[in-house]
Copies of this chain bind each other. A is one copy, B any other.
């Protein structure tokens, strides 16, 4: 038996997933009792050079891939709502389980994709959409069986956090810190989504949907970036032991509504997110039974994100074997 995977996208995350599946083939076989094989990769530009073995088909045509009856799972690692949404909808309608690392897509269409998965008796994994390798979705879904979560707050953008950390510890200006983040490969050529808080906002909306089953009206969520914090402010507050962090938070109020915001906050060393430095991400959950739980780890990077995708893939194989057992009932 072989588990046949179709991969959409071969950028940082897609290629890391490909390499991980290749290098861990033996470990995976031991774990799930099946070979795993990436049979197809869907890319945009066929002429780009890529290190992909000759047994894998490279195509620009999603329909060609989805019409292959051998495909068991679809992993999507591209950017933006389209064509990702169309691709995954088609896959789900064929009953295929899908795994996505695409936060903009999942923030906007996650609820729809989950419903579509339910309707077609399949699943959608999205661990990699929030906080990279930190297993936050799995932890949330498990905690929510038992706990009520009243509030979530997180440092959800590694680039913004790196810039704030670097300005404080190295006395850099905003421009210097940003340039350093870009030279280290943390920030994109156009870093506006990181700086302005938009990236953290998308991740927060995914957290809200999972935790509270709803999001506030997007247009009513105040989103403030880090560009207006001056180096002098950071330095003066550092002397007092305080740190600026770009914090995304959401609370369930007494009327059962979710209130959310993304904004820089000045926090002291009592705050659970105080120690989140550099490109790390962290999420703090306020629960009724368990108390306050914080998960901290790398929020981005190909390997960390591929690890989250792979974890969804393992979960997916559990689901598949259950489905097969249940099918004849």
Scan residues 258-311 of chain A and give those whose CB is less than 8 A from a CB of chain B: 269-270, 272, 274-275, 277, 287, 289-298, 301, 303-304, 306-307, 310-311
Quick check: is A139 within 8 A (CB to CB) of the other chain?
Answer: yes
Quick check: is A73 within 8 A (CB to CB) of the other chain?
Answer: no
Closest to A270 in B: B277
Closest to A298 in B: B291
**Residues of chain B within 8 A of A146, CB atoms compared:** 20, 24, 307, 310-311, 314
Complex partner residue of A139 from B24, B139, B287, CB under 8 angstroms:
B139
Complex partner residue of A304 from B24, B270, B291, B301, CB under 8 angstroms:
B291
How far, in whole Å, are A147 and B304 apart by their CA atoms in the complex? 10
Quick check: is A135 within 8 A (CB to CB) of the other chain?
Answer: yes
Quick check: is A180 within 8 A (CB to CB) of the other chain?
Answer: no
B289 pairs with A272, CB closer than 8 A = no
Quick check: is A322 within 8 A (CB to CB) of the other chain?
Answer: yes
B291 pairs with A133, CB closer than 8 A = yes
**This chain's copy number in the assembly:** 2
A147 pairs with B269, CB closer than 8 A = no
How far is the CB of A261 from the nearest CB of chain B, in Å? 23
| A contact residues, range | 35 or more
B296 pairs with A291, CB closer than 8 A = no
**Residues of chain B within 8 A of A322, CB atoms compared:** 322, 325
How far is the CB of A77 from the nearest CB of chain B, in Å? 16
Quick check: is A134 within 8 A (CB to CB) of the other chain?
Answer: yes
Complex partner residue of A303 from B270, B290, B294, CB under 8 angstroms:
B290
Quick check: is A48 within 8 A (CB to CB) of the other chain?
Answer: no
Quick check: is A49 within 8 A (CB to CB) of the other chain?
Answer: no
How far, in whole Å, are A147 and B146 apart by their CA atoms in the complex? 27
Quick check: is A190 within 8 A (CB to CB) of the other chain?
Answer: no
The 0/1 profile, CB within 8 Å of B marked 1, for residues 14-32 of chain A is: 0000001000100000010
How far, in whole Å, are A14 and B40 apart by their CA atoms in the complex? 53
The 0/1 profile, CB within 8 Å of B marked 1, for residues 127-151 of chain A is: 0000001110011001101110000
How far, in whole Å, are A301 and B143 apart by their CA atoms in the complex? 17
Q: Known: A147-B307, A307-B147, A310-B146. Contact between A134 and B296, CB under 8 A?
A: no
Quick check: is A326 within 8 A (CB to CB) of the other chain?
Answer: yes
Scan residues 135-183 of chain A and give those whose CB is less than 8 A from a CB of chain B: 135, 138-139, 142-143, 145-147
How far, in whole Å, are A313 and B311 apart by their CA atoms in the complex? 22
How far is the CB of A222 from the nearest CB of chain B, in Å? 28
A303 pairs with B289, CB closer than 8 A = yes
A138 pairs with B133, CB closer than 8 A = no
A-B contacts, 15 listed (Cβ < 8 Å): A133-B290, A135-B143, A138-B139, A142-B314, A146-B311, A147-B307, A289-B306, A289-B307, A290-B297, A291-B298, A291-B304, A292-B297, A293-B296, A294-B294, A325-B325
Using A20-B146, A139-B139, A322-B325 as known contacts, list a sample of 7 further A-B pairs with CB atoms less than 8 Å apart, ordered by residue number in A: A143-B311, A269-B275, A292-B297, A293-B295, A294-B296, A325-B325, A325-B329
